[in-house]
């Protein structure tokens, strides 16, 4: 099969002379018209440290495609910053950006007939956005991760600053000390440095087979990351030659590998949302229950932040995630027959990978952080369609308390910072789901405040919104149906008893059915969909978090 499957319709023959003239205007030569065209989609922008270096990397990728016999064509798509917008109305656009990115990549490549595609992402939403776009197009493709940032010299990062805000509110540090951590904790390019959502998704994508081996565990500023970009040119030409497409790689078994890696690394709850959406985009049937089944046999092995002690850069220095993948393969927890973007199987990619020099970060199977998954899919009258909990065991595995109810993140944060939350409370923040937000904001600001106040193991937190990968504590998100859809979370009242039980994976509002029916008859939806704009489009098209908050 010709590796110029799409571009030939755009540029071959006398009738396409006008198209070729436009391409000559951007630097194409006559020889370039006989080469496969490879789109290089960069999410580079100076709006966030995660992506500030990606345009430079994309130029390396473009050159590598050109030197490998293809014609690279560089284009950009957007990115936004969760970290900067966290706790504000701007955060409503974060999950929305995943769809905008996917749509824009599909639009450019579909319009301009590129035969292959390489995407480069750094922040957590643009990675699944890239993968969804690649899956829809289903032509030979590779994802490149921009890499992780290193912690400060005082071993702090962005999440440290978020939690220091809670300490400041409690009065244990003064403003001068808070500003000190603000000034030193984030420096230079790279994604947030723990096993937060960016590093979680990068690791999942590598395990899925859609990035080159090692791509997820390279520092943003490193020779290995630069080499990752150089190697992409040869790799995409091989995929084009063999016509290996995302549908050949992104199989059900490959998604199961990705879930396994997310659990073993103690990854973010956002991975559930994004992997469901990515699977939908390629036509793979993946459900919440797959996370439960895989979680029964997969231990948490990585002592990584937010609930552990180490940063991703430390794991990178010890060999990254590949030795872990090899161990999981040997334990028959990964499917080694899955094809990857190297053109080889996962098993073939891991043949020569050495073991870790020590087990300081990745624990032995005999001494895991947790013997089964920290990602718990909960059901019950409060979550008939499911909810996602992040429970490492450090907080305990069950919690029963009295509800403190808030109809927005802002209301909840104000109460927390004004010391209105007490030991034994279950903080409920609702109308923050995909439709109700709209946009399903991350709740890092309230959960960090809870941790900073020293209440992390003394209160629970539930929401129809979601959590940052930096969140830890006794938290349950993605509650479905959401409040805006009339889910039971909309009917909780202050003082109601709520039980969270990760032993039996249940989330229960302990109110009798007669009282629930009475409340339901008096309920009206307080949310208002914006009349126009991207949030309006999103609210009208987005589906349940239990399906991945998909829009198609």
Note if 468 is an active site residue: yes
Query: What's the pLDDT at 452?
Result: 84
Mean pLDDT of 123-134: 95
Mean pLDDT of 194-204: 96
Return d(Cα 393, Cα 153) in angstroms, integer. 30
Query: What's the pLDDT at 429?
Result: 98
Query: What's the pLDDT at 504?
Result: 95
Q: Integer distance in angstroms from the first to the last C-alpha of the chain?
A: 31
Q: Give the percent of the chain with pLDDT over 90.
A: 90
Mean pLDDT of 457-483: 91
Under the banding of pLDDT at 50, 70 and 90, the label for residue 453 is confident
- For residues 442 and 466, the answer to whether their CB atoms sit within 8 Å is yes
**H helices present in 267-408, as ranges:** 270-282, 288-297, 312-317, 322-330, 346-350
Residue 359 has pLDDT above 90, yes or no: no
Return d(Cα 405, Cα 420) in angstroms, integer. 12
pLDDT per position as a tens digit, 374-421: 999 999 999 999 999 988 877 778 999 999 999 999 999 999 999 999
Query: What's the pLDDT at 162?
Result: 87
Catalytic option among 169, 215, 313, 468: 468
Give the other-Cβ count within 10 Å of 289's Cβ: 11
Residue 165 has pLDDT above 90, yes or no: no
Query: What's the pLDDT at 145?
Result: 98
The C-alpha angle with vertex 333 and arms to 224 and 362, in degrees rounded to 5, equals 50
- DSSP category for residue 414: H
Q: Give the percent of the chain with pLDDT over 70.
A: 100
pLDDT per position as a tens digit, 518-539: 999 999 999 998 999 999 999 9
Query: What's the pLDDT at 123?
Result: 87
What's the chain's average pLDDT?
95
Query: What's the pLDDT at 276?
Result: 98
Under the banding of pLDDT at 50, 70 and 90, the label for residue 457 is confident
Under the banding of pLDDT at 50, 70 and 90, the label for residue 451 is confident
- Give the predicted TM-score (pTM) of the model: 0.96
Between residues 6 and 457, the one the model is more confident about: 6
71-76 sheet: strands from edge to edge? 71-76, 37-42, 116-121, 141-145
Taken in order of first residue, the domains within the chain and their CATH numbers are 7-154+190-350 (3.40.50.2300), 376-547 (3.50.30.80)
pLDDT per position as a tens digit, 219-257: 999 999 999 999 999 999 999 999 999 999 999 999 999
Return d(Cα 45, Cα 482) in angstroms, integer. 33
Give the other-Cβ count within 10 Å of 146's Cβ: 33
Query: What's the pLDDT at 106?
Result: 98
Give the other-Cβ count within 10 Å of 172's Cβ: 13
Query: What's the pLDDT at 180?
Result: 97
Under the banding of pLDDT at 50, 70 and 90, the label for residue 43 is very high
Return d(Cα 441, Cα 85) in angstroms, integer. 10
Q: Where are the beta strands (DSSP E) in 29-92?
A: 37-42, 71-76
User: Which of 136, 157, 233 has its CA nearest to residue 199?
Assistant: 157
Which run of H or E residues covers position 103?
A: helix 92-112
Return d(Cα 538, Cα 291) in angstroms, integer. 26
């Amino acid at each position: 099969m010709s590796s110029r499957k799409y571009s030939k319709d755009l540029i071959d023959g006398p009738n396409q002379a006008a198209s070729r003239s436009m391409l000559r205007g951007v630097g194409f030569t006559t020889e370039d018209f006989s080469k496969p065209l490879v789109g290089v989609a960069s999410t580079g922008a100076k709006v966030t440290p995660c992506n500030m270096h990606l345009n430079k990397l994309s130029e390396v990728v473009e050159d590598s495609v050109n030197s490998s016999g293809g014609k690279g064509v560089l284009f950009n798509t957007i990115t936004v910053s969760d970290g900067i917008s966290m706790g504000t109305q701007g955060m409503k656009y974060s999950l929305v950006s995943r769809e905008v990115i996917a749509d824009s990549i599909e639009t450019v490549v579909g319009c301009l007939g590129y035969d292959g595609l390489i995407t480069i992402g750094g922040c957590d939403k643009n990675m699944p956005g890239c993968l969804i776009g690649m899956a829809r197009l289903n032509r030979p493709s590779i994802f490149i991760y921009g890499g992780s940032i290193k912690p400060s010299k005082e071993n702090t990062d962005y999440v440290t600053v978020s939690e220091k805000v809670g300490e400041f509110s409690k009065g244990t540090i003064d403003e001068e000390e808070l500003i000190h951590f603000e000034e030193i904790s984030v420096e230079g390019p790279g994604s947030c440095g723990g096993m937060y959502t960016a590093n979680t998704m990068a690791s999942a994508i590598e395990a899925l087979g859609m990035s080159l081996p090692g791509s997820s565990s390279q520092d943003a500023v490193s020779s290995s990351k630069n080499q990752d970009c150089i190697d992409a040119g040869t790799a995409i030409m091989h995929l084009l030659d063999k016509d290996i497409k995302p549908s050949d790689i992104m199989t059900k078994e490959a998604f199961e590998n990705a879930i396994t890696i997310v659990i073993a690394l103690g990854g973010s709850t956002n991975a559930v949302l994004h992997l469901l959406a990515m699977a939908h985009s390629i036509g793979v049937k993946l459900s919440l229950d797959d996370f439960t089944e895989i979680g029964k046999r997969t231990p948490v092995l990585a002592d990584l932040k937010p609930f552990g002690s180490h940063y991703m850069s430390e794991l990178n220095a010890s060999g990254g995630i590949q030795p872990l993948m090899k161990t999981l393969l040997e334990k028959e927890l990964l499917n080694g027959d899955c094809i990857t973007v190297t053109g080889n199987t996962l098993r073939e990619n891991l043949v020569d990978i050495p073991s870790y020099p020590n087990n300081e970060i990745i624990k032995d199977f005999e001494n895991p952080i947790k013997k089964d998954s920290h990602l718990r899919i909960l059901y019950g009258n409060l979550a008939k369609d499911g909810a996602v909990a992040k429970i490492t065991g450090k907080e305990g595995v069950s919690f029963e308390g009295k509800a403190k109810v808030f109809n927005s993140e802002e209301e909840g944060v104000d109460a927390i910072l004004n010391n209105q939350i007490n030991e034994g409370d279950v903080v409920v923040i609702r109308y923050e789901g995909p439709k109700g937000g709209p946009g399903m904001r991350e709740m890092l600001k309230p959960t960090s405040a809870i941790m900073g106040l020293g209440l992390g193991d003394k209160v629970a937190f539930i929401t129809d919104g979601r959590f940052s990968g930096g969140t830890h504590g006794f938290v349950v998100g993605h509650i479905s149906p959401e409040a805006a859809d009339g889910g039971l979370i909309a009917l909780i009242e202050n003082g109601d008893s709520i039980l969270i039980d990760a032993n039996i994976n249940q989330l229960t509002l302990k109110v009798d059915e007669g009282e629930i029916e009475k409340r339901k008859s008096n309920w009206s939806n307080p949310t208002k969909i914006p009349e126009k704009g991207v949030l309006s489009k999103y609210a009208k098209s987005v589906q349940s978090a239990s399906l991945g908050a998909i829009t198609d």
